[in-house]
């Protein structure tokens, strides 16, 4: 299953058989050609919060990295970083490592094949920071995912996903009735109170939460379905919608307590 930013994730629970990943080269190639607005805003968030200061030489791990395009853009702006991406799809890993080699970045960035629910800690640690873009809301088990982040014992963890203030989590399972073999997709919007509690129990404190509003207009698809588009409110704000879902994007930074 590909998340909204193309990262490939299992759509089963941790104890279920893994689905066969799919790889669409054209989709992932686009991410290497243009840095998405949401990714650029997230990197600015890392800088503004001090998680990744200028000239930082930290080792950062990106979970469910897809083809590693976000690591490419992060490294372009912070060339002293050491970056590792963990991804379940071996085709994406091979594609991403090939791109890093082409760009002369193979010494600074690499991808490894790994299941987020069963990380090879020896290949990823020591780790200064963990990032995951557009991942947590599309996984079946956010508790296991946060456990995975914490297992790397980083100083900080930064996520993007669908989140909402208050004590209610909205769990959404999407079935494509025209393609039942695809299984289900998850589009969960998590209570920030719930996430604060999960991090607190594991010795981390959510330091900063920042809403993200998309900066461009997206046309509504001509045919019904899960396509993403924007609508403007009377006060000029953009609402991002995917099918029947309102996309409550947030950036989150948690630090070791």
pLDDT in tens, 149-179: 999 999 999 999 999 999 999 999 999 888 8
Instruction: Examine residue 126 and say whether the peptide bond preceding it is cis (omega within 30 degrees of 0).
Output: yes
pLDDT in tens, 200-216: 999 999 999 999 998 88
Residue 14: DSSP 8-state: T
> What is d(CA 195, CA 165) in angstroms, rounded to the nearest whole number?
10
> CATH code at 30?
3.40.50.150
Domain that holds residue 89: 25-213+248-256
Answer for the pair 60, 81: CB distance below 8 angstroms, yes or no. yes
Residue 103 lies in a domain: yes
Residue 241 lies in a domain: no
| Average model confidence (pLDDT) across the chain | 90
Residue 234 lies in a domain: no
> What is d(CA 255, CA 29) in angstroms, rounded to the nearest whole number?
33
What is the domain count for the chain? 1
Residue 8 lies in a domain: no
Cα 180 versus chain centre, distance: 25
pLDDT at 146: 98
Q: Is the pTM of this model over 0.85?
A: yes
Residue 18 lies in a domain: no
Answer for the pair 75, 83: CB distance below 8 angstroms, yes or no. yes
Cα 195 versus chain centre, distance: 16
């Amino acid at each position: 299953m590909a998340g909204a930013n193309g990262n490939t994730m299992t759509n089963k629970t941790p104890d279920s058989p893994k689905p066969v990943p799919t790889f669409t080269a054209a989709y992932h190639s686009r991410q290497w050609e243009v840095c998405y607005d949401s990714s650029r805003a997230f990197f600015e968030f890392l800088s503004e919060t001090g998680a990744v200061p200028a000239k930082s030489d930290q080792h950062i791990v990106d979970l469910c990295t897809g083809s590693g395009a976000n690591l490419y853009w992060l490294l372009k702006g912070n060339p002293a970083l050491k970056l590792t991406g963990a991804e379940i799809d071996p085709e994406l890993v091979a594609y991403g490592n090939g791109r890093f080699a082409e760009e002369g970045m193979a010494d600074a960035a690499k991808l490894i094949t790994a299941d987020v629910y069963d990380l090879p800690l020896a290949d990823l640690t020591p780790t200064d920071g963990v990032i995951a873009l557009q991942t947590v809301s599309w996984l079946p088990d956010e508790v296991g995912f946060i456990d995975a982040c914490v297992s790397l014992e980083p100083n900080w963890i930064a996520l993007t996903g669908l989140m909402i203030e208050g004590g209610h989590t909205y769990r959404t399972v999407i079935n494509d009735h025209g393609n039942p073999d695809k299984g289900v997709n998850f589009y969960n919007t998590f209570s920030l109170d719930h996430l604060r509690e999960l991090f607190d129990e594991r010795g981390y404190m959510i330091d900063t939460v920042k809403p993200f509003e998309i900066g461009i207009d997206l046309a509504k698809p001509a045919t019904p379905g899960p396509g993403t588009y924007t609508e403007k409110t009377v006060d000029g704000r953009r609402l991002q919608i995917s099918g029947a879902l309102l996309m409550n994007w947030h950036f989150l930074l948690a630090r070791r307590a």
